[in-house]
């Protein structure tokens, strides 16, 4: 009955709750402070029309944006033991977990789906930052493993869209081990000769960056995303160093050779379709022209 | 000069008394040997009592004890013909991670480990065991060398964590760690890791995704420092003690969770009291593991290692 409580109930609650939210008609850009009417923001793919900052995108919206015609199929992820080390700080981790499930209507911080990108069947795993900061525990590890295996099974490219504060400390060393586990998972994709592409979005830090997120054949980031290992606050307070302009932003990483591309959200789908097409070694459907046969006799060797 | 931890105070007092009695014996000829023997028995009893049930927070202190043997101490005792190799061939040399070639009980091996340093100068030089990307890239290079020459790899883990600095970030700390984990998992040679002190998060697992992970009895291994965890979840760094309990960072907890493979017992009173003894115990455990793993073909080793890490997370404390 666990799945009823953990999965079905939050889903129902999420549907019911959606009806009573029209208070949030305006959203404030976290970057420039501009108030943006929600419809305008959605129409602009949640990119601030004022400063161009890429605000967080819900994983379902992300999938809709990236898959051809917004069509995809989600896969259900295997269940993992909830609260494996019986963690408790001021509150129980199991309570925090349930709250996050109720809030998001999702079992954990990762969503896995498959569909077509540029006509090529592709698997995407997308992080949900609203679920405990997109932190990686065993469930997220399981999601990456399941997604990677699906990609291998379907012989499709694998795309991960990250947004995570790092390892989920409420699962102790188990969450640390997900770094090794997810590394093995993406290695299987690479060994199968399939493209593994990482799309880094704001923010991606800690153990997620220090594992599968930095192991992509291609590393693509949205503009202005915070990407790094240590948090800026940790660096400032423990090391007492002042941070340079644009520190840990996508453009900074690009300049330091850590990324292949920084791509606007609106262009992300096309970019993925293009690189996946090239890496999968197939021309766009419809452009295949048969080689014309000409009746020529080969020159005879003298 | 022995450095005593807070909870070792009663022992410190007794040892002070023993010292005083010894002085008196030497000075005025009064025979106090019986008294000394009695006190020594008491010291031993106290050690047994205290160390049999160290709390996680006490273990954190023991694991960080300044006199605890560090990687260099193990190298000196266990590895002959030690030849440190420097540099990542990309940017620089990072003394927070030492690595190189040597012989361990007759075998040619590659040895890599975090070095914390033992006095102010060496601590600063080794950056307290907190590595920068160069350290992890040097480790990757040595992993690849080990694979190329078919040499088993031994790693010694003892770090508060990867260095959180601007320079480390700008040179790709996260990528360096990720590639290091990847390089270790790719090895087709026996790979044994031992956590000798602090296993600090990503900086630790970078060189510890091994076939066998051993851990000293009072070492710790954690996803975040108790202090860091407390300041985030309790919003109060002072709650580190509570965080250390919640994090399940002791060798005993990790063995139960199936995240490490074996615990190496420490001598009475912790590794810092009997350095030689603990170094030998670690040597014996490593020897045993290498002997076992040497029988397996490289591809099998890699497959088993990958399988082992893929399974992690399927079981909790129950």
Do B225 and B80 sit in the same domain of this protein?
A: yes
pLDDT of residue B191: 98
Residue B217, strand partner residues: none
% of chain A at pLDDT higher than 90: 78
Residue B1 lies in a domain: no
Closest-CA residue of A relative to B241 is A89
Do A129 and A266 sit in the same domain of this protein?
A: yes
Do A43 and A167 sit in the same domain of this protein?
A: no
Number of structural domains in chain B = 2
Residue A215 lies in a domain: yes
Boundaries of domain holding A113: 57-279
Which residues lie below 8 Å from residue B270, measured CB to CB, with a gap of 6+? B51, B62, B65, B68, B218
- Name the helix (H) or strand (E) containing B166: helix B166-170
What is this structure's pTM?
A: 0.90
Do B135 and B204 sit in the same domain of this protein?
A: yes
**pLDDT tens digits, one per residue of A94-124:** 999 999 999 999 999 999 999 999 999 999 9
Do B82 and B209 sit in the same domain of this protein?
A: yes
Which residues lie below 8 Å from residue B248, measured CB to CB, with a gap of 6+? A85, A87, A172, A173, B254, B257, B317
Name the band, by pLDDT with cuts 50, 70 and 90, for residue A36: very high
Domain boundary among A55, A72, A103: A55
Report the distance separating Cα B105 and Cα B152, nearest Å: 12
Do B179 and B233 sit in the same domain of this protein?
A: yes
Do A162 and A150 sit in the same domain of this protein?
A: yes
Out of B165, B185, B257, whose CB is closest to A235? B165
Name the band, by pLDDT with cuts 50, 70 and 90, for residue A16: low
Give the A:B interface size as CB pairs under 8 Å: 191
Boundaries of domain holding B20: 6-53
Closest-CA residue of B relative to A244 is B166
Report the distance separating Cα A100 and Cα A106, nearest Å: 8
**CATH number of the domain encompassing residue A93:** 3.90.226.10
Residue A291 lies in a domain: no
- Interface check B304 vs A, CB under 8 A: no
> What ipTM was assigned to the predicted interfaces of this complex?
0.94
Do A51 and A68 sit in the same domain of this protein?
A: no
Domain boundary among B53, B70, B89: B53
- Tokens standing for residue A209: 């960056």
Residue B113, strand partner residues: B98, B156
Is A256 close to B168, i.e. CB distance below 8 A?
no
Residue B129 lies in a domain: yes
Do B84 and B205 sit in the same domain of this protein?
A: yes
Do A218 and A266 sit in the same domain of this protein?
A: yes
pLDDT of A234 above 90:
no
Residue B203 lies in a domain: yes
Distance of CA B309 to CAs A34, B13, B209, Å? Answer: 46, 47, 8
Do B41 and B89 sit in the same domain of this protein?
A: no
Do A103 and A221 sit in the same domain of this protein?
A: yes
Do A75 and A219 sit in the same domain of this protein?
A: yes
Out of A80, A183, A209, whose CB is closest to B182? A183
- Tokens standing for residue B74: 């193990």
Do A193 and A221 sit in the same domain of this protein?
A: yes
Per-residue pLDDT of chain B (318 residues; tens, 9 = 90+): 678 898 988 888 888 888 888 877 666 666 778 888 888 899 899 899 999 899 999 999 999 999 999 999 999 999 999 999 999 999 999 999 999 999 999 999 999 999 999 999 999 999 999 999 999 999 999 999 999 999 999 999 999 999 999 999 999 999 999 999 999 999 999 999 999 999 999 999 999 999 999 999 999 999 999 999 998 999 887 899 999 999 999 999 999 999 999 999 999 899 999 999 999 999 999 999 999 999 999 999 999 999 999 999 876 665
Is A214 close to B178, i.e. CB distance below 8 A?
yes
- Tokens standing for residue B233: 């979840």
Number of structural domains in chain A = 2
- Put residue A263 in one of left, alpha, beta given phi > 0 → left and psi -120 to 50 → alpha: beta
Residue B107 lies in a domain: yes
CA torsion, points B18, B22, B25, B28, in degrees to nearest 10? -100
Do A37 and A170 sit in the same domain of this protein?
A: no
Do B66 and B106 sit in the same domain of this protein?
A: yes
Domain boundary among B33, B53, B73: B53
Query: Do you know the residue count of chain A?
Result: 302
Is B168 close to A211, i.e. CB distance below 8 A?
no
Listed as own residue / partner, the contacts of A296-299 with beta carbons closer than 8 Å and 24 or more positions apart are: none
Residues 195-254 of B with CB under 8 A from A: 201-202, 204-206, 209, 221-224, 228-229, 232-234, 242-243, 246-249, 253-254
Is B248 close to A88, i.e. CB distance below 8 A?
no
Residue B104, strand partner residues: B79, B107
Do B218 and B290 sit in the same domain of this protein?
A: yes
Do B208 and B313 sit in the same domain of this protein?
A: yes
CB B207 within 8 A of CB B155: yes
**CATH number of the domain encompassing residue B250:** 3.90.226.10
Report the distance separating Cα A137 and Cα A146, nearest Å: 14
- Interface check A192 vs B, CB under 8 A: no
Report the distance separating Cα B103 and Cα B108, nearest Å: 5
- Comparing CA positions, the residue from A238, A235, A136, A162 lying closest to residue B169 is A235
Do A115 and A43 sit in the same domain of this protein?
A: no
* Burial (CB count <10 Å: 0-12, 13-18, 19+), residue A20: exposed
- Comparing CA positions, the residue from B285, B81, B99, B303 lying closest to residue B194 is B285
Do A73 and A95 sit in the same domain of this protein?
A: yes
**pLDDT tens digits, one per residue of A262-301:** 999 999 999 999 999 999 975 555 665 677 776 666 677 6
Do B126 and B263 sit in the same domain of this protein?
A: yes
Do B88 and B103 sit in the same domain of this protein?
A: yes
Do B115 and B148 sit in the same domain of this protein?
A: yes
Rounded to 5 degrees, φ, ψ at A179 are -65, -45
Do A157 and A38 sit in the same domain of this protein?
A: no
pLDDT of residue A21: 46
């Amino acid at each position: 009955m666990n799945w009823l409580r953990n999965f079905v109930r939050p889903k129902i609650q999420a549907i019911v709750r959606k009806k009573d939210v029209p208070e949030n008609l305006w959203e404030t850009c976290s970057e420039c402070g501009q108030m943006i009417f929600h419809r305008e923001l959605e129409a602009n793919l949640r990119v601030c029309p004022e400063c161009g900052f890429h605000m967080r995108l819900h994983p379902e919206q992300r999938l809709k944006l990236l898959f051809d015609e917004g069509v995809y199929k989600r896969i259900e992820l295997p269940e993992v033991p909830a609260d494996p080390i019986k963690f408790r700080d001021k509150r129980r981790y199991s309570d925090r977990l349930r709250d996050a499930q109720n809030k998001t209507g999702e079992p954990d911080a990762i969503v896995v789906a498959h569909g077509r990108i540029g006509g090529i069947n592709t698997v995407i795993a997308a992080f949900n930052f609203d679920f405990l900061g997109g932190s990686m525990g065993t469930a997220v590890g399981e999601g990456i493993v399941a997604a990677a295996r699906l990609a291998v099974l379907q012989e499709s490219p694998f795309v991960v869209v990250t947004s995570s504060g790092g390892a989920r400390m409420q699962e102790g060393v188990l969450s640390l081990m997900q770094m090794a586990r997810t590394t093995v998972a993406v290695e299987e994709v690479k060994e199968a000769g399939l493209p593994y592409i990482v799309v880094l979005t704001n923010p991606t830090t800690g153990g997620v960056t220090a594992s599968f997120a930095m192991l992509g054949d291609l590393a693509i980031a949205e503009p202005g995303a915070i990407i790094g290992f240590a948090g800026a606050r940790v660096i400032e307070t423990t090391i007492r160093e002042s941070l340079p302009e644009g520190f840990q932003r996508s453009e900074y990483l690009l300049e330091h050779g850590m990324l292949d591309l920084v791509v606007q959200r609106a262009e992300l789908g096309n970019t993925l379709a293009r690189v996946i097409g090239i890496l999968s070694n197939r021309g766009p459907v419809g452009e295949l022209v048969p080689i014309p046969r000409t009746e020529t006799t080969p020159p005879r060797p003298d | 000069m022995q450095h005593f931890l807070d909870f070792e105070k009663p022992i410190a007092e007794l040892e002070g008394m023993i010292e005083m009695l010894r002085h008196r014996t030497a000075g005025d000829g009064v025979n106090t040997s019986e008294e000394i023997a009695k006190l020594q028995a008491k010291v031993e009893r106290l050690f047994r009592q205290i160390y049999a049930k160290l709390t996680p927070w006490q273990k954190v202190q023991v694991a960080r004890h300044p006199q605890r043997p560090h990687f260099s101490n193990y190298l000196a005792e266990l590895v002959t013909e030690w030849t440190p190799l420097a540099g990542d061939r990309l940017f620089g040399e990072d003394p927070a991670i030492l690595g190189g070639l040597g012989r361990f009980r007759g075998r040619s091996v590659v040895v890599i480990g975090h070095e914390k340093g033992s006095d102010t100068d060496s601590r600063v030089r080794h950056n307290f065991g907190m590595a920068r990307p160069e350290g992890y890239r040097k480790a990757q290079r040595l992993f690849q060398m080990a694979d190329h020459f078919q040499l088993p790899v031994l790693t010694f883990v003892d770090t508060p964590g990867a260095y959180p600095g601007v320079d480390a970030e700008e040179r790709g700390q996260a990528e360096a760690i990720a590639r290091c984990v990847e390089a270790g998992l790719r090895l087709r040679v026996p790979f044994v890791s031992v956590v000798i002190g602090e296993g600090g998060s990503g900086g630790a697992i970078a060189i510890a995704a091994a076939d066998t992970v051993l851990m000293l009895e009072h070492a710790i291994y954690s996803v975040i420092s108790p202090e860091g965890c407390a300041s985030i979840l309790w919003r109060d760094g002072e709650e580190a003690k509570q965080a250390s309990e919640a994090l399940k960072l002791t060798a005993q907890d990790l063995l139960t969770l199936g995240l490490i493979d074996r615990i190496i017992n420490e001598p009475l009173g912790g590794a810092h009291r009997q350095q030689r003894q603990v170094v030998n115990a670690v040597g014996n455990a490593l020897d045993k593991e290498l002997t076992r793993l040497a029988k397996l073909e490289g591809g099998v080793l890699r497959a088993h290692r990958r399988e082992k890490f893929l399974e992690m997370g399927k079981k909790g404390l129950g």
